[in-house]
Amino acid sequence: MTAAKGGKNGSTKNGEPVETWDLRLYTAGQTPKSMAAIRNLKRICEEHLPGRYHIEVIDLMANPRLAKDDQIVAIPTLVRKLPDPLRKIVGDLSDESRTLVGLQLRRHQEEERQ
Amino acid sequence: MSVHQAEELEREITALRERLQEAEDVRRAITQGEVDAFVVGPGEQDQKVLLLAGAYSRYRQLIDEMEHGTVTVSTRGEILFANRRFSRIVGAALGELYHTALADYVHAEDRAALAALLTSPNAGDEGVVVRLARPGGTQVRARVSVASTWESYSTLVFIDLSEEDAAAEARETIEAIRRGEVDAFVMGEAVVTLNNARDPYQVLADRIQQGAFTLSPRGRIVYANARLVRLLGVPAERLLGAPIESYVLPDDRAALAAMLAGQNGRKNASGAQAEVRVQRASGEPAQVLLSAAALADGQSLWLVTDLSEARRHQASDERTRKFLGMLAHEFRNMLNGMRLSAELLKREPDAAERAKALDSLERQMQRMLEVVEDLRTINPRD
């Protein structure tokens, strides 16, 4: 599921390279919370990171061993792979403000503006 | 002061400078751990060599047993000493650390903060948080502060924040569970979902042979069963959150819109149906029959019957029916012939006629055996 144009970190804004957010969402098939997390993440990304995010959905029902990569305990869990540092947000992302704080999205946007 | 006295004074000053430099060299060697014994005593006969190994070991042991990483660096940022904890944090052997640049172990974006800390060690008592690079591309966050500065050397203390991060993550997980935002857990190599994690109709919908999806009141897909995923050839995560109309061909969207409008105004679970074409990922559209039923909370459950497949099955059934009819006709003819031959054998007194009837019966039986043999090798799809 990709919204970024030009690949990882390949987007530009006024000629300046724009950082692409690499997000990984761990789900458990189509449980209500997993589905809600997918919907909420898509909405938040479209609103706050249009055209510069990449979402990878990993269904742990299909392959539970992949949980080891990011030491996942509870599902759904969102992992921000890029930008550094890695951050995790546990839950269905229904609280947008908490999600934005967890992703440090506003802080990054302010830093980019500076 | 005479010229001679001035020259004598100059020599003494030079000698004192040399001794001071020597003392400075000795101090530097001691602080850098380059010497571990001293010669002491008033005269050549009374001189003794004192080994500092014991005291040095105790000092090193104390530093090494600290639960935090400790590094002594020069003003140029060269590592002169590091304890075992620091070597474990950065995942490098102690021997590899000495005389390397501390900055090499710090994330590029955090090096400026570290340099600022070394320049103004008293600027912030709490130090700064930096990311330390570990082998394999992983990182660990650490809070670094200056424990002491002595002339051109600084001793830094690194507090590994990964345990603090793990504790924060555990707290966040517990909070998410309390808020009811989690409905599955990873247990070893298995995923366990909570008992109430799935609505009963979803469990049922996953087992039926038709495609099924649930729509939000705004017409977006909030659930899709495995059969629909296979029918459209689109991963479930892409279907979720997407408007259903994006998968219906433009010419058929009016029929869908009419169904949606009817569904939104519907309060009970009575159904509505429409035939539309849906777009598959392969590019080939599929003719489907949509049936909708209202659920609670303004959602609706939709069933998708693949008419292309149903029609293929129907055509196949028709071919099978025709084939069986033809087969029954053939068998009936052959059996009728055999019955006539048997009647003739029973009643005919003439031996020559009986031989003819017997010959005919054998030919019909042989023909029947050949047909049966053909049936054994026939492909059901032929």
CATH number for the domain that contains residue A54: 3.40.30.10
Give the C-alpha distances (Å, rounded to integers) separating B138 from A90, A102, B329: 21, 20, 77
Among B residues 112-131, those touching chain A with beta carbons less than 8 Å apart: 131
Tokens representing residue B186 in the block: 């990873």
Chain B residues in contact with A42 by the CB 8 A cut-off are 241
Contact call for A64 and B189, based on CB within 8 A: yes
Chain B residues within 8 A of A93 when measuring between CB atoms: 181
The token pair that represents B199 in the structure block: 């609505």
Which pTM does this prediction carry? 0.51
Helices (H) and strands (E) in chain B, counts: 12, 14
Chain B residues whose beta carbon lies within 8 Å of the beta carbon of residue A39: 220, 222, 240-241
Torsion angle of the four alpha carbons B344, B346, B351, B353, in this order, in degrees rounded to the nearest 10: 0
Residue whose C-alpha is closest to residue B283's, from B309, B247, B311? B247
How many Å is the maximal CA-CA distance in chain B? 173
Q: Report chain A residues whose CB lies below 8 A from the CB of B229.
A: none
Interface residues of chain A, partner chain B, Cβ below 8 Å: 1, 27-35, 38-39, 42-43, 57, 59-61, 64-65, 67, 72-76, 84-86, 88-95
Interface contacts A/B by beta carbons within 8 Å: 104
Q: At what angle do helices A96-103 and A32-48 cross, to 10 degrees?
A: 70
Q: Is B142 helix (H, G, I), strand (E, B) or coil?
A: strand
- Min Cα–Cα distance to chain B from A72, Å: 7
**Measured between alpha carbons, how far is B124 from B30 in angstroms, rounded to an integer?**
30
pLDDT by residue for chain B (382 residues), tens digit each? 688 888 888 888 888 888 888 888 877 776 666 766 666 666 656 655 555 555 455 556 666 667 788 888 888 888 888 888 898 889 888 878 888 999 999 988 889 888 888 887 665 567 888 989 888 777 888 989 888 777 778 888 898 888 777 778 878 887 888 788 888 888 777 787 775 556 666 667 777 778 888 888 878 888 888 889 989 998 887 887 788 999 999 999 998 888 888 765 554 434 578 889 999 999 889 999 888 888 767 778 888 988 877 777 777 888 888 888 888 888 888 888 888 888 888 888 888 888 888 898 898 888 888 888 888 777 555 4
What type of residue is B114? L
Cα distances (Å, whole numbers) of residue B50 to B36, B39, B57, B61: 9, 6, 14, 20
**Of B192, B258, B181, nearest in space to B219 by CA:** B258
Question: Would an 8 Å CB–CB cutoff place B38 in contact with chain A?
Answer: no
- Rounded to whole angstroms, the Cα distance separating B190 from A75 reads 12
Q: Are B170 and A6 in contact (CB under 8 A)?
A: no
Best to test chain B binding among A70, A86, A90, A112 (most B CBs inside 10 Å): A90
**Do residue B182 and residue A94 have CB atoms under 8 angstroms apart?**
no
Report how far residue B237's alpha carbon sits from residue A29's, in angstroms, rounded to the nearest whole number: 9
* Residue B107 touches chain A, beta carbons under 8 Å: yes
- B66-160 and B200-310 in the same fold: yes
Residues 151-180 of B with CB under 8 A from A: 169, 172-173, 176-177, 179
3-state secondary structure at position B225: coil
- Using a 10 angstrom Cβ sphere, with 0-12 exposed, 13-18 middle and 19 or more buried, the burial of residue B215 is buried
ipTM above 0.85, yes or no: no
Which chain A residues are closer than 8 Å to B211 by Cβ? none
CB-side exposure of B21: number of CA atoms within 13 Å?
A: 6
**Contacts with B198 from chain A: Cβ below 8 Å:** 30-32
Q: Is B348 on the interface with A (CB under 8 A)?
A: no
Contact A90 B241 (CB under 8 A): no
CATH fold group of domain B66-160: Beta-Lactamase (3.30.450)
Does residue B46 sit at the A interface (CB-CB below 8 Å)? no
B191 CA to chain A: closest CA distance, Å?
6
**Cα→Cα distances B73→B116, B160, B339, B369, Å:** 14, 19, 111, 98
The Cα–Cα gap between A12 and B296 comes to: 45
Under 8 Å between Cβ of A19 and A31: no
C-alpha B11, offset from chain centre: 76
Residue contact B184–A67, C-beta within 8 A? no
From edge to edge, which strands make up the β-sheet containing B190-193?
Answer: A74-75, B184-187, B190-193
Which overall architecture, per CATH, does domain B200-310 show? 2-Layer Sandwich (3.30)
> Taking CB atoms and an 8 Å limit, are A90 and B176 in contact across chains?
yes
Per the structure, the complete domain to which residue A97 belongs is given by: 11-106
Q: And the tokens for B74? A: 């020069």
Asked whether residue A112 is domain-assigned, the answer is no
For chain B, domain boundaries = 26-65, 66-160, 200-310, 318-377
